[in-house]
Amino acid sequence: MGDLEGSGEECLSLIPEINHIKNMNQFIQNADNRLKVVIGFIILGALSRLIPHPFNFTPIAAMALFGGTYIKNKRLAFIIPLTAMLLSDIVMQLVKHTGFYPEMWSVYLGMMIITSIGFLLRGHEQRATIMVSSLVGSILFFAVTNFGTWTAGTVSYPMTMKGLMDCYIAGIPFFRWTVLGDLFYNLVFFGGFALLRVFFPQLIEKRA
């Protein structure tokens, strides 16, 4: 009887460990699901570039901000939006011959900067903070990509400070669409993810 009692006590002592393993498995499963949802939003955003739209009204910056905010692994937070962007560029090159251009490096650099803004937004996803982050991202993206246009020489601006200023001034009329596009797609991404978390509370526990 002593041996049986001892075995029973040992089995009981294993119950917390078994529950811990179950909880860990559930956590991993939920994390995978969250990551898939976040990636799904980013891919849909990248595909939406193929839809006719006003110039600069794109999901590019929103993809970076959303990924930086909700993809827990910072390395993946850079890689996933950039990869989605590259794949959509390849498709646009094959379909419309507009995917590759000399200043595209500045677009990818702008995305990386905005992803870093997403890191700062983590845990502070309020309507106001998302809007401010979106606007800051729009300004930085405008600054970086117009600098890229100037250095690429695709537009006839002299390689002087005046030429750079002229390039920025010429881009101002298009900046409105950049701001509106970023706000719209951030509303879709962050708002859509928040709505999903209402129906699937497990998405709230941890970020992807």
For 130-144, what is each residue's pLDDT tens digit? 999 999 999 999 999
Would the pTM of this model clear 0.75, i.e. be above it? Answer: yes
Give percent above pLDDT 70 in the chain.
Answer: 83
User: Is 82 among the domain residues?
Assistant: yes
Distance of CA 18 to the CA centre of its chain: 36
User: Is 6 among the domain residues?
Assistant: no
DSSP label at 185?
A: H
Report the range of poorest mean pLDDT among 27-31, 36-40, 191-195: 27-31
Dig out the tokens for 76 from the structure: 């993946």
Domain total for the chain?
1
> Tell me, what amino acid is at 158?
P
User: Is 122 among the domain residues?
Assistant: yes
> Tell me, what amino acid is at 153?
G
User: Is 7 among the domain residues?
Assistant: no
- pLDDT of residue 23 exceeding 70, the answer is no
Tens of pLDDT, residues 63-101: 999 999 999 999 999 999 999 999 999 999 999 888 898
Give 169's contacts (C-beta < 8 A, 6+ positions apart).
Answer: none
CATH of the domain at 188: 1.10.1760
> Tell me, what amino acid is at 189?
F
CA 111, 114, 117: angle at the middle one, nearest 5? 160
DSSP label at 207?
A: -
User: Is 1 among the domain residues?
Assistant: no
Residue span of the structural domain in which 142 resides: 14-205
Report the range of poorest mean pLDDT among 95-109, 125-139, 180-194: 95-109
Q: Tokens 């976040």 map to which residue?
A: 38
Q: Which H or E element spans position 8?
A: helix 2-47
Tens of pLDDT, residues 139-171: 999 999 999 999 987 778 889 999 999 999 999
In this prediction, residue 161 carries a pLDDT of: 93
Question: How would residue 32 be classed by pLDDT, with cut points 50, 70 and 90?
Answer: confident
Question: How would residue 118 be classed by pLDDT, with cut points 50, 70 and 90?
Answer: very high
Give 122's contacts (C-beta < 8 A, 6+ positions apart).
Answer: 68, 69, 70, 207
DSSP-based three-state secondary structure for 101:
coil
DSSP-based three-state secondary structure for 151:
helix
User: Is 3 among the domain residues?
Assistant: no
